[in-house]
Chains A and B, each alone.
Chain A
Amino acid sequence: MMKPVFRLIALMSVTVFCVYVAEAQGFRLIGTSQPGGLSVSMESRMVPLAINQMHAWVIGLSDSSGRPLGNAEITVTGGMPVHNHGLPTEPMVTQSLGEGSYLLEGMRFHMHGLWELRIQIMLGTVQETVNFTLEL
């Protein structure tokens, strides 16, 4: 088992292309998937984003030329690398909102600190992944 600090360093090296923007209206995460270079965004529907409350996010997905991808199967996992635990809930994408947007329900963060989110995208038989980090 990799020590938490090394896991954190490894995670940050993977997420070098991912940034989060803590805007007044909430959190927006932007990243590029591997290996296919898809554009992935996540925006919190809870404004402002707070701990201990169930809430939803909208995931946006498009290919490298900006065309929305509406037929993906997306799973989201995550946790706190420093504490070595997962999310306190099992969030799920419950519907496609059209134009490459997907509704992710069942998100909750129950501690302050650095969280990681792992987004796994299946397009047919092709698997893409992108990791985000956010500080609460």
Chain B
Amino acid sequence: MKRPKLVRWMAVILIAAVLGLAGHGFWQYVPAILPAQWTAEEINLLQSLSLSNLGDLPPDPGNRLSGDIRAAELGRQLFFDLRLSGNGTIACTTCHRPDLHFTDARSLGLGTAIGDRHTMGLIGVAYSPWHYWDGRKDSLWSQALEPLENPLEQASNRTDLVRALTGDSSYRHQFEQLLGPLPDFVDLNRFPAGATPLGNDRQKQDWNAMSAADRYLVSQVFSAVGKVLAAYERQLSPQSTPFDEYVARLADDPALIQESALSRSQVAGLRLFIGKAQCINCHNGPLFSNHDFHNTGLLSAPGMLPGIGRAAGLETALQDEFNCLGQFSDAAPQACTELRFARHSDANLGAMKTPGLRNVAETAPYMHAGQLASLAEVVHHYDVAADAMVGHNEAKPLKLRAVERAELESFLHALTALPDPQSRWLTSPARPQ
């Protein structure tokens, strides 16, 4: 009598286990039923993300050349020119490749050596008031200067670079059209080879041995290089995506699912993006970035210390000779609102810049040191929201189901735009004679 009872209990337990597993699988992998329509509030949020609401480029008061098309054309030539590096092999485009949405498909940038940060894309970059993952630059023109002298990137130096550019008849002519007559930098006694305030001890020594007036002359032309590069980068505009096409139709038809640019899974992912997954908190506006700085508890890359992010970046920006308040800026001091009203707070500790998400599916890997290889890993990172190594993780665990994580990832593929085949800004110009 005992044996049949035992068998019966085992059968009950087995059936319960099977039903439990089946229920768990059903819960994890069966998509939720979508409502028939977006609400008016949701439609407002979706439209706030649309490219049609991008608006005009913000002014760059520190760069009087920012809107000059001649400066943009000159910047385009410099952007592709290998001679802007110390060894003649690295151009801006080495890391910011137009065929990869101006990224490089690497975890860490590779110039003359491997850097310590993942290369950020440049499409729509002129809409952001701060630059670099840690926000150590308060303008695009100032940002464009740093790689030129960074020993891990283009590894050039201020005197040699200015001498080379002003010694090139075409470049000299174009710069003089913008700036007026330029001095001559050929005298190696006044302008020593290899001198820069950011180099090794010998280079700094040579730089400091120059007269203050000569240092100013060199840095003034050097700053103009950044300004024409920034004028070029202002031309790199985002293009319409399937997401934008979808939103364009919502005013006429608020149905969630249409015969449209997005799949059902992508629409479900979009609903999560602006709702349960809270992505829109930081990835907002038509570029899917609030251009601000947040600590999201990222692990440091292997072999690297955790980055303290904006906490250090802001201090660097305030000391930068090429910031908005500096002598090479064209801005009136009161126009430098980003520097004047920047937040000094513990919240800056470990905070990195919110990257935009347009073309995100084609710009792996991700995060400030390329720590995460795929979008699935990124979604998992935010789903778990572990404690931060440095500072405080602003994100909270999302507790997404497996199907929701897949839907969110699916939606991110709807933010890919084909490059504009007509745009001359995406290709290297023929060198003017």
Residues of A within 8 A of B (CB): 51-54, 83, 85-92, 105-106, 108, 110-113
How many angstroms between the C-alpha atoms of A37 and B282 in the bound complex? 37
0/1 per residue, B306-340, Cβ < 8 Å to A?
A: 00000000000000000000000000000001101
Q: How far is the CB of B73 from chain A (nearest CB, A)?
A: 29
- Selected from B290, B341, B344, the residue in CB contact (under 8 A) with A110 is B290
Interface presence of B347 (CB below 8 A): yes
How many angstroms between the C-alpha atoms of A91 and B343 in the bound complex? 9
Q: How far is the CB of A98 from chain B (nearest CB, A)?
A: 19
B284 and A106 within 8 A (CB) = no
How many angstroms between the C-alpha atoms of A52 and B341 in the bound complex? 14
Q: How far is the CB of A110 from chain B (nearest CB, A)?
A: 4
Q: How far is the CB of A91 from chain B (nearest CB, A)?
A: 6
**Residue among B48, B337, B345 with most chain A CB within 10 A:** B337
B343 and A88 within 8 A (CB) = yes
Question: Lowest 4 CB-CB distances: which A-B pairs, in order?
Answer: A106-B341, A110-B290, A110-B292, A89-B341
How many angstroms between the C-alpha atoms of A54 and B45 in the bound complex? 20
* Chain B hits for A87, CB < 8 A: 343
Interface presence of B394 (CB below 8 A): yes
How many angstroms between the C-alpha atoms of A82 and B58 in the bound complex? 30
How many angstroms between the C-alpha atoms of A91 and B337 in the bound complex? 10
B291 and A52 within 8 A (CB) = yes
* Chain A hits for B344, CB < 8 A: 90
B338 and A112 within 8 A (CB) = no
B341 and A90 within 8 A (CB) = yes
Nearest CB in chain A to that of B53: its residue: A50
How many angstroms between the C-alpha atoms of A53 and B45 in the bound complex? 17
A54 and B48 within 8 A (CB) = no
How many angstroms between the C-alpha atoms of A84 and B226 in the bound complex? 39
Q: How far is the CB of A49 from chain B (nearest CB, A)?
A: 13
How many angstroms between the C-alpha atoms of A19 and B228 in the bound complex? 48
**Residue among A87, A91, A111, A113 with most chain B CB within 10 A:** A111
A112 and B340 within 8 A (CB) = no
How many angstroms between the C-alpha atoms of A92 and B344 in the bound complex? 13
* Chain B hits for A90, CB < 8 A: 341-344
B343 and A111 within 8 A (CB) = no
* Chain A hits for B200, CB < 8 A: none
Are A105 and B284 CB-contacts (below 8 A) given A52-B291, A111-B290?
A: no
- Selected from B284, B337, B345, the residue in CB contact (under 8 A) with A52 is B284
14 inter-chain pairs at a CB distance below 8 angstroms, sorted by A residue, are A51-B48, A52-B284, A52-B292, A53-B58, A54-B341, A83-B281, A83-B394, A85-B394, A87-B343, A89-B343, A90-B344, A106-B337, A110-B291, A111-B281
* Chain B hits for A53, CB < 8 A: 58
- Selected from A54, A105, A106, the residue in CB contact (under 8 A) with B129 is A54
* Chain B hits for A88, CB < 8 A: 290, 292, 343
Interface presence of B379 (CB below 8 A): no
B290 and A52 within 8 A (CB) = yes
Q: How far is the CB of A86 from chain B (nearest CB, A)?
A: 7
Nearest CB in chain B to that of A84: its residue: B394
How many angstroms between the C-alpha atoms of A83 and B392 in the bound complex? 13
Q: How far is the CB of A135 from chain B (nearest CB, A)?
A: 11
- Selected from A54, A85, A89, A112, the residue in CB contact (under 8 A) with B284 is A112
Q: How far is the CB of A59 from chain B (nearest CB, A)?
A: 16
How many angstroms between the C-alpha atoms of A87 and B345 in the bound complex? 10
* Chain A hits for B285, CB < 8 A: 51-52
Interface presence of B280 (CB below 8 A): yes
Are A91 and B341 CB-contacts (below 8 A) given A85-B394, A111-B290?
A: yes
How many angstroms between the C-alpha atoms of A85 and B293 in the bound complex? 12
Nearest CB in chain A to that of B45: its residue: A112
A51 and B284 within 8 A (CB) = yes
How many angstroms between the C-alpha atoms of A91 and B338 in the bound complex? 10
0/1 per residue, B284-299, Cβ < 8 Å to A?
A: 1100001110000000
- Selected from B58, B290, B340, B342, the residue in CB contact (under 8 A) with A51 is B290
* Chain A hits for B58, CB < 8 A: 53
